[in-house]
Amino acid sequence: MTTGTNQDRAREIMGSNFLGVDEVVRHLGVVPTHKQLGFFKRIPYSGLQLEESKDTHVLSAVFPLSILKILINIEKKSAEVGPNRKVFYKYETAWYNNERFVREVGESGWQLIRKTPVQGSACRNWLAQLELIGEDEEVPCAQALLYTIAGHFLATGERLFETTYARTSSVDFLHFNVFLGGNNSDGLRICKYPEEKALDVLGISSAKVPQRKF
């Protein structure tokens, strides 16, 4: 059995690109169990992986929290967030409120998620974008990407995907790709688009696959 990196070392390496347990409890309303706290003590990425990714990725402690629950939790904190720190774009009557993907809680675990779309992935359809995903990468689901974008913004004030959009591995009822972006002062947008089509602002998201299992 191998061990990963501890949280103190990971925070030291990643700096502001570290969205740890303390941050998600404070900003996303996560209420961890004792068992979950034990699970998140070790990080399944080597120090080398983190050093290589410290400027391009966010290391995120992703708890099983659905997109809808994240929206609700942040709405409760809206007075604290303030009018100039809007997190989501017009979600109260959004198209996705009855979609299954917004109710999926995702998997617990540390994720190392790229802060921008994969380079060169815009103006390509879904299959062509997948060809750009490396062997040590995977496409995160909408829950993990939104969780990271929202948490990172509330923790640091930095808006990821402010002028770009990125596809995720999630799909809607019609199997259209779910993508996120346009994260300007009006808030993060959740959109959908057919996989066979391409847009000049629509790339693909990616996350590093852990090298260490424990």
> pLDDT at residue 212 above 80?
no
The tens digit of pLDDT for each residue in 24-71 reads: 999 999 999 999 999 999 999 999 999 999 999 999 999 999 999 998
Instruction: Name the residue among 149, 178, 172, 176 with its Cα closest to residue 162.
Output: 149
> pLDDT at residue 84 above 60?
no
> pLDDT at residue 3 above 60?
no
Mean pLDDT of 84-88: 72
pLDDT of residue 94: 84
**Token pair belonging to 71:** 């929206």
> pLDDT at residue 89 above 90?
no
pLDDT of residue 1: 39
Place of tokens 């410290």: 54
CA gap 204, 77 in Å, rounded: 30
pLDDT of residue 82: 53
pLDDT of residue 78: 57
**Residue 85's pLDDT band (cuts 50, 70, 90):** low
Contact 67, 101 (CB under 8 A): yes
Instruction: Name the residue among 149, 141, 161, 150 with its Cα closest to residue 101.
Output: 141
**Token pair belonging to 17:** 């690109």
Ranges 41-50, 86-95, 124-133, 135-144: which has the least confidence = 86-95
> pLDDT at residue 81 above 60?
no
Mean pLDDT of 12-21: 97
pLDDT of residue 2: 47
> pLDDT at residue 77 above 70?
no
pTM: 0.92
Mean pLDDT of 173-194: 95
Ranges 16-20, 81-85, 114-118, 135-139: which has the least confidence = 81-85
How wide is the angle at C-alpha 12 spanned by C-alphas 113 and 65, nearest 5°? 40
Task: Count CA within 13 A, CB hemisphere, residue 205.
Answer: 32
pLDDT of residue 76: 67
DSSP 3-state helix, strand, coil percentages of the chain (rounded to 5)?
Answer: 35, 20, 45
